[in-house]
Amino acid sequence: MTENVTGFSSLDNRLDDVSLMRFIVQQELNGLATSALVEVMAVHGDTVDVKPLVNQIDGAGTGIPHGIIHGLPWHAQRAGPCAIRVAPRVGDIGQAKFCHSDISSVKKTKKAANPSSRRRFDWSDGIYYGAVIPKEEATTIIEVDADNNVVITGPALNITVTDKVNIVGPVTSDTEYRINGTKVVGEQQGAITGPSGGGTVDSGARTAIDAILAALRAHGLIAS
């Protein structure tokens, strides 16, 4: 029994040599991997395993799912030892782009090298460039808004500095400042009146107290 097989060619492809050549070229182009929407299936440090989401089709239009592509480097903004990283998450839908030649030697040696094979635009030579189609609302955001303000939104902001932090301009907090979990500065307290009256006057002590109160007012720790 002979099975029915539906190919990609049609009668129009056999009208003349130009039509046939166009069909052959088109089939060759169909074998080139350029860019694709993919879903992250696993994350391994600086690489991800992804699955292309747009199915392949046969001549009859029947969908054929892709397999998983393993070990694609994922893109982070880098310059020397500096990096801005947003690590991929399993389930992210992002874009993978595929290189002209075999990049496996460069991935291994991290320097110029000959390609390990003569493959071109192959699924194995991809780089993952991050999520482009969100599945859920973002809750951690770094944004430059319409007023050119940098807005950071998230459940926590952890900053590790090995030298020092320089801040130019005022700093506003809605609650308090803590060091190692201990509150050191909070909301401004009410005004405190300087010493006056009393049966015994210690002018030196009063001078010192007035100076302390003036410093607290100047720092904004108490109201004027």
Q: Which helix (H) or strand (E) holds 207?
A: helix 203-218
Q: What mean pLDDT do residues 13-25 have? A: 77
pLDDT at 102: 96
pLDDT at 99: 96
Measured CA to CA in angstroms, residue 197 lies from 194, 203, 211 at distances of: 10, 11, 18
The encoded tokens of residue 109 equal 């040696």
pLDDT tens readout for residues 109-154: 999 999 999 999 999 999 999 999 999 999 999 999 999 999 999 9
Neighbours of 189 (CB within 10 A): 11
Q: What is the pLDDT of residues 67-126, one digit of tens each?
A: 999 999 999 999 999 999 999 999 999 999 999 999 999 999 999 999 999 999 999 999
The alpha carbon of 157 is separated from its chain's Cα centroid by a whole number of angstroms, namely 15
Residue 197's pLDDT is what? 86
Quote the pLDDT of residue 217.
Answer: 94
How far apart CA 120 and CA 203 sit, in angstroms, is 90
Reported pTM:
0.73
Looking at the predicted structure, is the pLDDT value of residue 1 above 80? Answer: no
* Contacts with 116 (C-beta within 8 Å, 6 or more apart), sequence order: 102, 104, 105
Q: What's the pLDDT score for residue 3?
A: 58
